[in-house]
Amino acid sequence: MDVQVRKGDSLWYYAGLFNLPLPLLMDSNPSLAPEALQIGQTIKIPGWRTSTYTITQGDTLWKLAGEHRLSLDALFLLNPDADPDALQIGGSLLIPARVSIRIVNGNRPYTSAVLSEDLRALFDLYPFIQRSGIGQSVMGKELQELRIGRGNEYVHWNGSFHANEWITTGVIMQFLNDYLLALTNKEPIRGMDVQPFYNRITLSIVPMVDPDGVDLVLNGPPEGEFGEAALAINEGSRDFSGWKANIRGVDLNNQFPAKWEVEAERKPEEPAFRDFPGYQPLSEPEAVAMAELANQRKFSKMLAFHTQGEVIYWGYEGLEPPRSMSIVKEFSRVSGYEPIRFVDSYAGYKDWFIQDFRQPGFTVELGQGVNPLPLEQFDEIYQETIGIFLASLYM
């Protein structure tokens, strides 16, 4: 929601008028000097929208403010030309409305187009979200990182490293929406006040690492050379439900230089629907983008969300720091998932992250069954995972 600055207005005043944390207002308007607002400047108010109201017999601004639980000055601010003593029947007023319900529905086939649609809506409603393009997929789809918060400590989440594990993106996006709602409405999540996290932590999210692969699984092969190559790898079958790889048949979570040679010796030697680690580590643009992001941000903690098994992998060659154990114990307590320290698998993002940064890294395997997990599991998975999302912020 946009408002125009009047004489005497300030961000501090708007924070009180709309019951918003001041840091959210400041970060929604980063180009403005908070102590030197100019009359007529546009201010973005996060977490609020406007609706158009048609004036009827007996309406007054005082009556409408009471009915909509608003300060009278909020109506004056949005309707500077309205004469409070002479409202015209049939005329219109703008009514500010706080957004208190989700605009993201993660419980649906979550393609890259759905992700883009939801991101546009979130950026419009919550302009304090920072976003960066961190690279492109093989087919040129932009890989986006979202950042929420102003702390020096970076906590990272990612989803859909594997194409047929696209449900992880929906889970991440729905929780992100709940986190934004809690911040702008000053409400807790599961009884926990999340406001302190905004100032202490910057949350980094790459919701979909493999958009080409996700779209292949959900939409079928695209027209052109990439679709034809994928069909050939899939032996002509148009059923891509078992496809884990990127569009070129490379398993992105086998792409990282952490015993990559071990995986290469025992995995497919050429492009395949799953498990092919590439002809060399970091050959794929999606993997390169994720490696460069970690090198740039220096995450204090990293969570990669996968499916399935209801387990959390948290070790690599004994290089994980001691605090990883206490963190994963809390993840297990709040979710019921089983922590597993070591597994005979290498070259994953979690493995490389622990190896190169010696910080806590986790692969969280959501749900149970055969990938792609059915959407009937979404609500249960989401409720199990909320605690992990929160714990990643406070541990």
Q: Among residues 356, 391, 347, 286, which one has the least CA distance to residue 364?
A: 391
Amino acid at residue number 153 = E
Determine the 3-state secondary structure of 3 from DSSP.
strand
Q: Judge residue 69's burial from the number of C-beta atoms within 10 Å of its C-beta, 0-12 exposed, 13-18 middle, 19 or more buried.
A: exposed
Amino acid at residue number 327 = I
DSSP state of 373: P
CATH topology (fold) of 112-213+280-394: Aminopeptidase (3.40.630)
Determine the 3-state secondary structure of 110 from DSSP.
coil
Q: Which residues belong to CATH 3.40.630.10 in the chain?
A: 112-213+280-394
Query: Is the separation of the CB atoms in 275 and 251 below 8 Å?
Result: yes
Per-residue pLDDT, 143: 98
List the structure tokens of 137: 């997929």
Per-residue pLDDT, 86: 87
Q: Which residues belong to CATH 3.10.350.10 in the chain?
A: 2-98
Report the DSSP beta bridge partners of residue 362. 303
Mean pLDDT to the nearest integer, 202-229: 98
Active site residues: 365
- The helix or strand, by DSSP H or E, that contains position 144, with its residue range, turns out to be strand 142-149
The alpha carbon dihedral of 145, 146, 151, 155 has a sign of: negative
Tens digit of each residue's pLDDT (9 = 90 or more) over 217-276: 999 999 999 999 999 999 999 999 999 999 999 999 999 999 999 999 999 999 999 999
CATH topology (fold) of 2-98: Membrane-bound Lytic Murein Transglycosylase D; Chain A (3.10.350)
Expressed in percent and rounded to 5, the helix, strand and coil fractions of the chain are 40, 15, 45
Mean pLDDT to the nearest integer, 339-362: 97
Distance of CA 324 to the CA centre of its chain: 23
Tens digit of each residue's pLDDT (9 = 90 or more) over 160-186: 999 999 999 999 999 999 999 999 999
Query: Is the separation of the CB atoms in 171 and 385 below 8 Å?
Result: yes
Query: Is the separation of the CB atoms in 121 and 103 below 8 Å?
Result: yes
**Taking the C-alpha atoms of 343, 347, 350 and 356 in order, what is their torsion angle to the nearest 10 degrees?**
120
Mean pLDDT to the nearest integer, 50-64: 95
- For the chain, the average pLDDT equals 97
Per-residue pLDDT, 85: 87
